[in-house]
Amino acid sequence: MTNPLAPDWLTVPRDLNDLDTKIWPTNISRNKYGEAQISGVAVSEMTAQFGTPLYVIDEDDFRVRAKRIKNALEAAAESIGTKAKVYYAGKAFLCTEVANWVSELGLNLDVASGGELAAALAGGVAPENIGVHGNNKSLAEIGRAVGAGVGAIVIDSEIELERIASAAQAQGKVQAVRIRVNAGVHASTHEYLATAREDQKFGIARQDVAALVARIRSDAHLEFLGIHSHIGSQIFEADGFVEAARRLIEVHSQLLSAGPVPELNLGGGFGINYTSADNAPNIETIAFKIAEGVKLACEERQIEVPVLAFEPGRAMIGQSGITLYTVGTIKDVAVTDGSAPAVRKYVSVDGGMSDNMRPSLYAADYQTRLVSRTSDQDAALVRVVGKHCESGDIVVRADYLPSDVANNDIIAVAATGAYCYSLSNNYNFLTRPPVVAVRDGQARLIVRGETEADLFVRDVRFQELQKNLPKNGKE
Ligand SMILES: Cc1ncc(COP(=O)(O)O)c(C=O)c1O
Three-class DSSP labels, 99-164: HHHHHHCCCEEEECCHHHHHHHHHCCCCHHHEEECCCCCCHHHHHHHHHHCCCEEEECCHHHHHHH
pLDDT at 244 over 80: yes
- Which residues have a catalytic role annotated? 389
d(Cα 157, Cα 343) in Å, to the nearest integer? 52
Ranges of H-type helices in 154-238? 158-170, 206-217
- Which secondary structure element, helix H or strand E, spans residue 307, and what is its range? strand 307-310
Residues in the chain: 475
Q: Any idea of the CA torsion for 148, 149, 154, 159, to the nearest 10 degrees?
A: 70
pLDDT at 235 over 50: yes
pLDDT at 57 over 50: yes
- Which secondary structure element, helix H or strand E, spans residue 462, and what is its range? helix 460-467
d(Cα 43, Cα 408) in Å, to the nearest integer? 13
**Is any ligand 1 atom within 6 A of the Cβ of residue 92?**
yes
Confidence of residue 340 (pLDDT cuts 50, 70, 90): confident
Calculate Rg over the CA atoms of the chain. 24
Instruction: Give the model confidence (pLDDT) of 414-442 as tens digits.
Output: 999 999 999 999 999 999 999 999 999 99
Interval 319-341 mean pLDDT:
91
**Is any ligand 1 atom within 6 A of the Cβ of residue 405?**
no
| AA identity, residue 312 | P
CB-based contact 188:164 (threshold 8 Å): no
Residue that wins the pLDDT comparison between 243 and 197: 243
Question: Angle at CA 46, nearest 5°, toward 415 and 58?
Answer: 35
What is the Å distance from ligand 1's center to 233 Cα?
7
Interval 7-30 mean pLDDT:
97
Confidence of residue 475 (pLDDT cuts 50, 70, 90): very low
d(Cα 383, Cα 402) in Å, to the nearest integer? 13
d(Cα 241, Cα 230) in Å, to the nearest integer? 9
Instruction: Give the model confidence (pLDDT) of 343-385 as tens digits.
Output: 999 999 999 999 999 999 999 999 999 999 999 999 999 999 9
d(Cα 417, Cα 10) in Å, to the nearest integer? 22
pLDDT of 196: 82
Which ligand 1 atom is at minimum distance from the Cα of 235?
10
pLDDT at 1 over 70: no
pLDDT at 3 over 90: no
362 contact partners, CB below 8 Å, separation of at least 6: none
pLDDT at 97 over 50: yes
H helix count then E strand count, the chain: 13, 23
Q: What is the DSSP letter of 470?
A: P
Interval 102-106 mean pLDDT:
98
Interval 214-236 mean pLDDT:
97
**Is any ligand 1 atom within 6 A of the Cβ of residue 131?**
no
CA distances from 23 to 19, 344, 415, 465 (A): 8, 24, 7, 49
| Entry pTM | 0.96
Q: How far is CA 111 from the centre of its chain?
A: 12
Mean pLDDT of the chain: 96
What is the Å distance from ligand 1's center to 106 Cα?
19
**Is any ligand 1 atom within 6 A of the Cβ of residue 265?**
no
pLDDT at 474 over 60: no
Confidence of residue 338 (pLDDT cuts 50, 70, 90): low
CA distances from 156 to 105, 114, 162, 181 (A): 29, 16, 11, 8
Confidence of residue 471 (pLDDT cuts 50, 70, 90): low
pLDDT of 468: 87
Instruction: Give the model confidence (pLDDT) of 271-314 as tens digits.
Output: 999 999 999 999 999 999 999 999 999 999 999 999 999 999 99
pLDDT at 219 over 80: yes
pLDDT at 470 over 80: no
pLDDT at 34 over 50: yes
pLDDT of 122: 98
372 contact partners, CB below 8 Å, separation of at least 6: 35, 36, 43, 44, 409, 410, 411
What is the Å distance from ligand 1's center to 267 Cα?
6
What is the Å distance from ligand 1's center to 158 Cα?
22
**Is any ligand 1 atom within 6 A of the Cβ of residue 267?**
yes
pLDDT at 473 over 60: no
Percent of the chain with pLDDT over 90: 93
Which ligand 1 atom is at minimum distance from the Cα of 418?
9
Percent of the chain with pLDDT over 70: 98
Which ligand 1 atom is at minimum distance from the Cα of 270?
11
What is the Å distance from ligand 1's center to 270 Cα?
9
Residue 95 sits at φ, ψ, to 5 deg, of -155, 175
Residue nearest to atom 5 of ligand 1 (CA): 268
**Cβ of 72: how many Cβ atoms within 10 Å?**
22
Residue 456 sits at φ, ψ, to 5 deg, of -110, 5
Residue nearest to atom 12 of ligand 1 (CA): 268
pLDDT of 373: 98
pLDDT of 2: 76
CB-based contact 377:406 (threshold 8 Å): no
Interval 26-40 mean pLDDT:
98
pLDDT of 347: 98
Residue that wins the pLDDT comparison between 200 and 441: 441
Domains in the chain, CATH or no CATH each:
28-53+319-455 (2.40.37.10), 60-312 (3.20.20.10)
pLDDT of 195: 84
